[in-house]
Chain A
């Protein structure tokens, strides 16, 4: 029996669903047809999801329509610490990013307007109970829903432009970790939860689509940064040890998380009417994410002490979490490139099949990997199919499998970078995302 087998047998289940399909905590699940094609879309006019990939292309989408898509992201993660302990994993949890688009315009008209909703950023990970990094993070659930209002205009039959007003309609974050203090009573380890909703904020996207011939199209698009700003989030504390209460008085926190800008270019070739092949490159401006800063406030009274015969009453210092009113964690993300390639083939009038792949580079630098985003360079393979009934209704199916390259950091990396608030070891993640969509065209 090998040590490995023993470790695996003894290993606890650690499960995570994490950001699927793009670097950092970006989620590139904009449209079901696109997902099947490796996530390309800047130079395509497949359906109304164009307003996500390239609002400039929307005017060239032939039909008006309404569509929805649902995905089930199943992430699996394994972690082996640099020293001590065996492999840990994540608690299996299903994450379901969805998308919705509707667009309308006059038949054969030059313009089109649309509305959409999608989830471009998110991450949910639940590490197993006693994993080595529990004092860094035990759970994260980061969610965002964007709503978009889009207008697109075809300047010529070959060239169209478009822009969208993007709103962070809903965002929330839930971060949890254990506090490294032990109670005399044997009570459970103290636990902190930071839970807050983001304020609504606005951004934009814009794009240009150019189709010089029936066999070629190109596109560029840009989506701006939107900041998820949390004010008066809740600090929830569990099992705080009485004598240490004076260091844990905060009731609220504020923090800002940048949801970075993305620039994309794409090209598509249509050698015949049935086949489309497209390639995209995305640059996500992750370098905007420098530090994650929290400011704490409020007073829960844990530090208050009643007066005694010999001592006066004490009021605890407000706004402390772990003895400090602020915390700052280095992120120092780097801009990340992704390359995507995908194709579709129209097998019959009703059936279209798709395949694709991508290579997505990590936003997190070596030695900066934190448990909330076990980022790495990743390779994705996708497949998909659509079936259309009577030129009106259709159903899309997509499947994405993503393999993160194994990534390690040592304690000396962490010491050198001043990032010892996270753990040394090796991460490995895979994600599978089956998805299904429905659409109506008119």
Chain B
């Protein structure tokens, strides 16, 4: 027997080390990325602020770079049939903070959202305001590259996108609204910066998006047809034809024109997203009637509650708020100075979305979503039901690899500091929902992203 322990032991140990260093490798059995019947070589995104990558009350390069269309383009590319490049209208490096954005700052040891303004030197941000156009003080640095693939324009609605949409039956109103839509490039600083000077008073958004020849598109329009009215506490501005709730006739006409323009009359495949119920966003659920009433009670035990202004500008109704009324995020400032504590100093109407207005907004959202669904169906387009998706987030949040993300302001990770627009994490979650819908409808296998790789709110 030549088996010597002297040699066998090191041999055994060596065997152990060899086997031990044998890293198991998992076959990646996840479905291989596959575009299926789709061709993403020219993907174009149509939409408003949500599509542009707007966040924290502004459009700035950092979040624009992770807009949901940018994430979609990145994931589409993994199928091998994606866009070689996806162009977004970024601001120049020296003006990377674009329109500026809200930051949390420490005030007396607590984190408070602070708006950038000329007065606070834009919080040190490198904003892109030109400051050279006296007639249009919010003018931004023009985007001079070729027409981008992300065509999202913050603030745009269906009504303002189509110079033929307005069909209220009131000729005077329609003429004014259609005229404003045609000249939208001179009204909206984010649209203005995309257009050559010559087009700013004449080229409406439908014409602008019609210039693209996509092989696949996404369209998420309509939010501002209800949101602008809602975030203003149900108060429409007399001077802004796009500040009310868009009527269904005008919306239907405008929406069909938008889809026809980008889908080349239904010949290009794509996905439409509908309008989430705006009353679920932190903008309306952070400053609550209950909390404000409790604060008043703490200051004055006899306080009966929160007085709010409802009704119309000409016939205001002042009453005590109930939990069915919503206060805006922006109400924080006026409430802090005592507004709402007495009937003679009620919370002004623009900070209150009262129960009646909520019903009006929700009902209109339902009607507009029916139009979006029908248009998508008629054009054989996928429909991302963002209304249902955000309802689910509002009620139970969404967990991403052990991180609980909710619709809570700031700490919920999903909504940015304006209380309306997503954070990069929120945009990643939105992109995953788009991908899920696209895959289900077209049978493609576009991989989803890991939302935790995208940040939530930044804390000081």
B26 in contact with A78 (CB, 8 Å): yes
A294 at the interface (CB under 8 A from B): no
**Residues of B contacting A351 with CB < 8 Å?**
1, 3, 5
What residue in chain B is nearest A430 (Cβ atoms)? B24
B24 in contact with A85 (CB, 8 Å): no
Which one, A117-125, A361-369, A395-403, is touching chain B? Answer: A395-403
What mask results when residues 5 to 17 of chain B are scored 1 for a CB within 8 Å of chain A, else 0? 1001100110111
Interface residues of B in 1-48 (CB under 8 A from A): 1, 3, 5, 8-9, 12-13, 15-17, 19-30, 32-33
A422 at the interface (CB under 8 A from B): yes
B459 at the interface (CB under 8 A from A): yes
Q: How many A-B Cβ pairs are below 8 Å?
A: 160
A435 and B13 alpha carbons, distance in the complex (Å): 8
**Residues of B contacting A422 with CB < 8 Å?**
402
A100 and B21 alpha carbons, distance in the complex (Å): 27
B456 at the interface (CB under 8 A from A): yes
A1 at the interface (CB under 8 A from B): no
What residue in chain B is nearest A383 (Cβ atoms)? B12
**Residues of B contacting A89 with CB < 8 Å?**
23
B106 at the interface (CB under 8 A from A): yes
Give chain B's interface residue range (CB within 8 Å of chain A): 35 or more
A348 and B5 alpha carbons, distance in the complex (Å): 13
| Given A8-B25, A428-B24, A432-B16: A83 and B459 interface contact (C-beta under 8 Å) | no
What mask results when residues 447 to 460 of chain B are scored 1 for a CB within 8 Å of chain A, else 0? 11111110111111
What residue in chain A is nearest B456 (Cβ atoms)? A182
What mask results when residues 348 to 363 of chain A are scored 1 for a CB within 8 Å of chain B, else 0? 1001000000000000
B164 at the interface (CB under 8 A from A): no
What residue in chain B is nearest A8 (Cβ atoms)? B25
**Residues of B contacting A414 with CB < 8 Å?**
399
B23 in contact with A132 (CB, 8 Å): no
B30 in contact with A132 (CB, 8 Å): no
Interface residues of A in 418-436 (CB under 8 A from B): 420-424, 426, 428-434, 436
A84 in contact with B25 (CB, 8 Å): no
B163 at the interface (CB under 8 A from A): no
What mask results when residues 53 to 93 of chain A are scored 1 for a CB within 8 Å of chain B, else 0? 00000000000000000001010111111111111010010
Interface residues of B in 41-68 (CB under 8 A from A): none
A385's contact among B5, B30, B453, B458, by CB below 8 Å, is which?
A: B5
What residue in chain B is nearest A427 (Cβ atoms)? B26
**Residues of A contacting B13 with CB < 8 Å?**
434, 436
B238 at the interface (CB under 8 A from A): no
Interface residues of B in 101-160 (CB under 8 A from A): 103-104, 106, 108-111
B450 in contact with A78 (CB, 8 Å): no
- The smallest C-beta distance from B438 to any residue of chain A, in angstroms, reads 15
B186 at the interface (CB under 8 A from A): no
Interface residues of B in 399-416 (CB under 8 A from A): 399, 401-404, 413
A81 in contact with B401 (CB, 8 Å): yes
**Residues of A contacting B20 with CB < 8 Å?**
72, 74, 76, 431-432, 434
**Residues of A contacting B32 with CB < 8 Å?**
3
A83's contact among B15, B22, B448, B460, by CB below 8 Å, is which?
A: B448
Interface residues of B in 156-187 (CB under 8 A from A): none
| Given A305-B110, A420-B404: A87 and B25 interface contact (C-beta under 8 Å) | yes
A428's contact among B3, B26, B404, B457, by CB below 8 Å, is which?
A: B26
**Residues of A contacting B448 with CB < 8 Å?**
83-84
B28's contact among A4, A244, A399, by CB below 8 Å, is which?
A: A4
- Between A83, A183, A401, A428, the greatest number of chain B beta carbons within 10 A of the residue's beta carbon is seen for A83
A305's contact among B108, B403, B432, B453, by CB below 8 Å, is which?
A: B108
A399 in contact with B15 (CB, 8 Å): yes
| Given A3-B33, A184-B104, A415-B399: A406 and B26 interface contact (C-beta under 8 Å) | yes
- The smallest C-beta distance from A303 to any residue of chain B, in angstroms, reads 10
- The smallest C-beta distance from A413 to any residue of chain B, in angstroms, reads 12
- The smallest C-beta distance from B248 to any residue of chain A, in angstroms, reads 37
**Residues of B contacting A183 with CB < 8 Å?**
458-460
A135 in contact with B402 (CB, 8 Å): yes
**Residues of B contacting A434 with CB < 8 Å?**
12-13, 15-17, 20
- The smallest C-beta distance from A12 to any residue of chain B, in angstroms, reads 12
Which one, A191-199, A204-212, A224-232, A307-315, is touching chain B? Answer: A307-315
- Between B12, B23, B456, the greatest number of chain A beta carbons within 10 A of the residue's beta carbon is seen for B23
**Residues of B contacting A399 with CB < 8 Å?**
12, 15-16
What residue in chain A is nearest B25 (Cβ atoms)? A78
A87 and B24 alpha carbons, distance in the complex (Å): 10
A92 and B23 alpha carbons, distance in the complex (Å): 10
B33 in contact with A243 (CB, 8 Å): no
What mask results when residues 256 to 300 of chain A are scored 1 for a CB within 8 Å of chain B, else 0? 000000000000000000000000000000000000000000000
**Residues of B contacting A135 with CB < 8 Å?**
401-403, 452
A347 and B2 alpha carbons, distance in the complex (Å): 12
What residue in chain A is nearest B28 (Cβ atoms)? A4
A427 and B458 alpha carbons, distance in the complex (Å): 33
A188 at the interface (CB under 8 A from B): no
A305 in contact with B404 (CB, 8 Å): no
What residue in chain B is nearest A404 (Cβ atoms)? B24
**Residues of B contacting A397 with CB < 8 Å?**
5, 8-9, 12
- The smallest C-beta distance from B29 to any residue of chain A, in angstroms, reads 7
- The smallest C-beta distance from B3 to any residue of chain A, in angstroms, reads 6
**Residues of A contacting B26 with CB < 8 Å?**
78-80, 87, 406, 426, 428
B455's contact among A182, A395, A424, by CB below 8 Å, is which?
A: A182
What residue in chain B is nearest A92 (Cβ atoms)? B21
What residue in chain B is nearest A75 (Cβ atoms)? B20
A201 at the interface (CB under 8 A from B): no
B17 in contact with A182 (CB, 8 Å): no
A181 in contact with B109 (CB, 8 Å): no
A300 and B451 alpha carbons, distance in the complex (Å): 32
B459 in contact with A244 (CB, 8 Å): yes
B19 in contact with A421 (CB, 8 Å): no
What mask results when residues 1 to 34 of chain A are scored 1 for a CB within 8 Å of chain B, else 0? 0011001100000000000000000000000000
B28 in contact with A87 (CB, 8 Å): yes
**Residues of B contacting A184 with CB < 8 Å?**
103-104, 458-460
A188 and B5 alpha carbons, distance in the complex (Å): 51
A84's contact among B19, B106, B453, B455, by CB below 8 Å, is which?
A: B453
**Residues of A contacting B28 with CB < 8 Å?**
3-4, 7, 80, 86-87
- Between A77, A184, A431, A433, the greatest number of chain B beta carbons within 10 A of the residue's beta carbon is seen for A184
A414 and B404 alpha carbons, distance in the complex (Å): 13
A429 and B103 alpha carbons, distance in the complex (Å): 45
A380 at the interface (CB under 8 A from B): no
A133 at the interface (CB under 8 A from B): yes
A165 at the interface (CB under 8 A from B): no
Interface residues of A in 170-198 (CB under 8 A from B): 180-185
**Residues of B contacting A181 with CB < 8 Å?**
456, 459
A76 in contact with B24 (CB, 8 Å): yes
Counting from the closest, the 6 A-B pairs by CB-CB distance are A84-B450, A434-B16, A74-B20, A305-B109, A432-B20, A243-B111
A–B complex contacts, Cβ < 8 Å, 26 sampled: A72-B16, A72-B20, A83-B449, A85-B450, A87-B25, A87-B28, A132-B401, A133-B402, A182-B457, A183-B458, A183-B460, A184-B104, A185-B460, A242-B459, A244-B111, A305-B108, A347-B1, A385-B3, A397-B9, A399-B16, A401-B19, A415-B399, A426-B29, A431-B20, A432-B17, A436-B13
Question: What 9 new A-B contacts, CB under 8 Å, besides A76-B20, A183-B459, A411-B399?
Answer: A4-B28, A74-B21, A76-B23, A181-B459, A184-B104, A348-B1, A420-B404, A426-B29, A429-B24
**Residues of chain B having any CB pair with chain A under 8 Å:** 1, 3, 5, 8-9, 12-13, 15-17, 19-30, 32-33, 103-104, 106, 108-111, 399, 401-404, 413, 432, 447-453, 455-460
